[in-house]
Amino acid sequence: MRKPAEFVLQVIAVVVLVMAMAGGPFAKAYAQNILEEWDSIKAPPPPTDKIKEVTVDPKKTAVISMDFNSKRCTPQGRVRCFNVLPRVEKVLAQARAKGMLVVHTLTSSMKPEDLVTSVGPKPGEPVLRGRGDKFSGNDLEKMLKDKGIDTVILMGTSANSAVLYTAFGAVQRGFTPVVPIDTMPADTAYQEQFSIWQIANGSQLDDHARLTRTDMLKF
């Protein structure tokens, strides 16, 4: 014969299970994986409190412009990428006027001539190749540290690949990444949103990366 306490627990379990199957308040607790909760998830508020004015020291700061491919960064191809080009060009011009180091990167499938001309390299500016974290597979870290650089301004595409991974790679190597949120396009707005949220809140990134906008970036 079942004890009263056991019977009560069994009844509660059945009730909760039925409510979960019916989409009741216990449904989330019984979700088998995130896909079952997907449509009910609401995006967190934007991290506006972490997007601040940043003043950099030109002698200790480099600009890294990543993967702006002229074959894709077009109004017909990736309009979000095309639309940020004037802002990227402005930052590059400001950095060059201060004599700062400007580095350009390519994806594994790109050639140097594939870079968008308006944001492409000037004579003497290094062009490196890498996947995801642009510090990987090349001598970027040594190049920067040899010049006494401790801060990197990251602009590039895509937000959820080159920018996000390189921001984390910079932190891992002792650099402070400065990320203008209006120069990090992706294929979709969601990918940009996620990347900004992760830089603002992700482990290590939240303490070391600095989010800003091009109109809040001072040299």
Per residue in 44-80, pLDDT (tens digit) is 999 999 999 999 999 999 999 999 999 999 999 999 9
The token pair at 165 is: 């991974």
Residue 30 confidence class, pLDDT cut points 50, 70, 90: low
Inform me whether the pLDDT recorded for 6 exceeds 60.
Answer: no
| Band of residue 1 on the pLDDT scale cut at 50, 70, 90 | low
- Which band of pLDDT confidence, cut at 50, 70 and 90, is reported for residue 32? confident
Please give the torsion angle defined by the CA atoms of residues 17, 20, 24 and 28, in that order, rounded to the nearest 10 degrees: 130
Check pLDDT > 50 for residue 7: no
Q: Is the pLDDT of residue 10 over 90?
A: no
Annotated domain spans of the chain: 4-40, 48-218
Chain centroid to Cα 132, Å, comes to 11
CA-based nearest residue to 9, from 184, 63, 138, 17: 17
Residues of the chain with pLDDT > 70: what percent?
86
pLDDT of 13 above 90: no
If one looks up domain 48-218 in CATH, what number appears?
3.40.50.850
Q: Decide: pTM greater than 0.75.
A: yes
**Residue 16: per-residue pLDDT:** 44
Neighbours of 8 (CB within 10 A): 11
CA dist list (Å): 59 to 56, 149, 166, 212: 9, 7, 21, 20
d(C-alpha 151, C-alpha 56), whole Å: 8
Considering only CA atoms, which of 53, 63, 50 is closest in space to residue 175? 63
Residue 109, amino acid: S
Q: In the predicted model, what is the mean pLDDT of residues 97-105?
A: 98
Amino acid letter at 74? T
Q: What average pLDDT does the segment 19-33 reach? A: 58
pLDDT digits (tens, 9 = 90+) for 131-162: 899 999 999 999 999 999 999 999 999 999 99
**Mean pLDDT confidence for 2-8:** 50
